Amino acid sequence: MRTRYNAVITALGGYVPDTILTNHDLEELVDTNSEWIVSRTGIKERRIVKDPNIATSDMATLALLRLMEDGNVQPDEIDCVIVSTSTPDYVMVSTGSMVCEKAGLKNAWGIDTNAACSGFLYALTLGASMIESGRSKKVVVIGADKNSSIVNYTDRNTCILFGDGAGAVLLEKTEEEFGLMDSFFRTDGSGKENLIVTAGGSKNPASQETLDQKLHYVRQDGRVVFKAAIQGMTDTCNEILKANHLQSSQIDHLVPHQANLRIIQAVGDNLGLSAEQVKINIDRYGNTTAATIPLCLWDYQKDFKAGDNMILTAFGAGFSWGATYLKWGKLRHKTSENED
Ligand code: COA
């Protein structure tokens, strides 16, 4: 239940690596072709970290620095950094801690959360709760993943899908009717059979055997995930619409997790939304896991007006899925036309 304040997004930042991995590049690596990839997924290219010294926290920090610059936020003002990632820098030492260090945040604490592709949405609700309760004043929520660190570039079922990137939002309190209004989330652990990185955690610590069996790479049953994603996102969007007495015609923007263009279009069709209502950037970035939704918000921010009704929805490993309803607010300092 919401208490004193609403939590509203007041600044955004994003980062994708410079290196572009095109479908034609992938034709050199696996038995595939660009036409197949575009028609089955909508992905034309994705960004990949080339420099082995760049980890998830570096991308997350660059997204945060962009947010601080565009939003005119000083490092000392930020209370808390929540990083959602499935590809942390380390098993022990949170990526949130690394981001606070690298961005020079002296008054903040940083943690990680992980719900794979749903991670940003879940973290956004956690961050909003910190603001709504009055416990924090400025919470940064980041979705960041270096998927190239867990993708097997000899497996055509997965390597065509994923890219690297990071997106960040700043949450602050408002007494106006803007911000996060409601969330509806679900998880089903039995879904782990269909989308998982099996080794590297406490269940299957790294060993010669796990390396030999390539268990440190993501593997999936694409068809099962495909169907479950459409169902899960459609159902939770409908739940959130119903709970908030909204018709789909009242939704200005659906910002879905970007896993597959056909999944996104099916969810949009199921909800009765027009193409203009559904925000898409999968063609350029592929699936950046926890980063897709904040990167999409970052890309489309100029289209959003204060008071717009928005539904964010995601589906990912776990299985984990859900939808969040928010009313767009006022950004602290919109990027002006003559700035990059
Ligand atoms: N290039 C060419 N052919 C490929 C291919 C590729 N990269 N990957 C698979 N194929 C082949 C398959 O081997 C299969 O051949 P077959 O019929 O001879 O067995 C054929 O294409 C169709 O495979 P299928 O798995 O049915 O394709 P699809 O239309 O379901 O598309 C995915 C595959 C992976 C793109 C799709 O299932 C998907 O996007 N699933 C969701 C994955 C996802 O979002 N994961 C992240 C979670 S959020």
Judged against a pLDDT cut of 90, whether residue 302 lies above it is answered with: yes
Q: Write out the catalytic residue numbers.
A: 117, 257, 287
- Listed by start position, the domains of the chain span 6-178, 181-327
CATH number for the 181-327 domain, one of 3.90.550.10, 1.10.10.10, 3.40.47.10, 3.50.50.60? 3.40.47.10
User: How large is the average pLDDT for residues 230-257?
Assistant: 97
Give the model's pLDDT for residue 335.
52
pLDDT category at 56 given cuts 50, 70, 90 is: very high
What pTM value is reported for the model? 0.95
Q: Ligand 1 pocket test: pick from 40, 293, 315 the residue with the most ligand atoms within 8 Å of its Cβ.
A: 40
- Give nearest CA residue, ligand 1 atom 36: 222
Cα of 223 to ligand 1 centre, how many Å? Answer: 7
pLDDT category at 89 given cuts 50, 70, 90 is: very high
What is the atom index within ligand 1 of the atom nearest the CA of 162? 46
Give the model's pLDDT for residue 3.
53
- Give nearest CA residue, ligand 1 atom 37: 222
Cα of 322 to ligand 1 centre, how many Å? Answer: 24
Cα of 148 to ligand 1 centre, how many Å? Answer: 19
Fold agreement between 6-178 and 181-327: yes
What is the atom index within ligand 1 of the atom nearest the CA of 223? 37
Judged against a pLDDT cut of 50, whether residue 339 lies above it is answered with: no
User: How large is the average pLDDT for residues 306-317?
Assistant: 98
Judged against a pLDDT cut of 70, whether residue 337 lies above it is answered with: no
Domain with residues 6-178, CATH architecture:
3-Layer(aba) Sandwich (3.40)
Give the model's pLDDT for residue 308.
98
Cα of 197 to ligand 1 centre, how many Å? Answer: 18
pLDDT over 90, % of the chain: 96
3-state secondary structure the chain: CCCCCEEEEEEEEEECCCCEEEHHHHHHHCCCCHHHHHHHHCCCEEECCCCCCCCHHHHHHHHHHHHHHHHCCCHHHCCEEEEECCCCCCCCCCHHHHHHHHHCCCCCEEEEECCHHHHHHHHHHHHHHHHHCCCCCCEEEEEEEEHHHCCCCCCHHHHCCECEEEEEEEEEEECCCCEEEEEEEEECHHHHHHEEECCCCCCCCCCHHHHHCCCCCEEECHHHHHHHHHHHHHHHHHHHHHHCCCCHHHCCEEEECCCCHHHHHHHHHHCCCCHHHECCCHHHHCECHHHHHHHHHHHHHHHCCCCCEEEEEEEECCCEEEEEEEECCCCCCCCCCCCC
- Give nearest CA residue, ligand 1 atom 34: 222
Tens-digit pLDDT profile for residues 17-27: 999 999 999 99
User: How large is the average pLDDT for residues 160-174?
Assistant: 98
Give the model's pLDDT for residue 2.
46
Tens-digit pLDDT profile for residues 97-138: 999 999 999 999 999 999 999 999 999 999 999 999 999 999
Tens-digit pLDDT profile for residues 262-291: 999 999 999 999 999 999 999 999 999 999
Judged against a pLDDT cut of 60, whether residue 318 lies above it is answered with: yes
- Give nearest CA residue, ligand 1 atom 32: 222
What is the atom index within ligand 1 of the atom nearest the CA of 159? 7
pLDDT over 70, % of the chain: 97
Cα of 40 to ligand 1 centre, how many Å? Answer: 7
Give the model's pLDDT for residue 333.
78
Q: What mean pLDDT, rounded, does the chain reach?
A: 96
Ligand 1: lining residues by beta carbon, under 6 Å: 32, 36, 40-41, 117, 156-157, 160-161, 195, 220, 222-223, 225-226, 229, 259-260, 287, 315-316
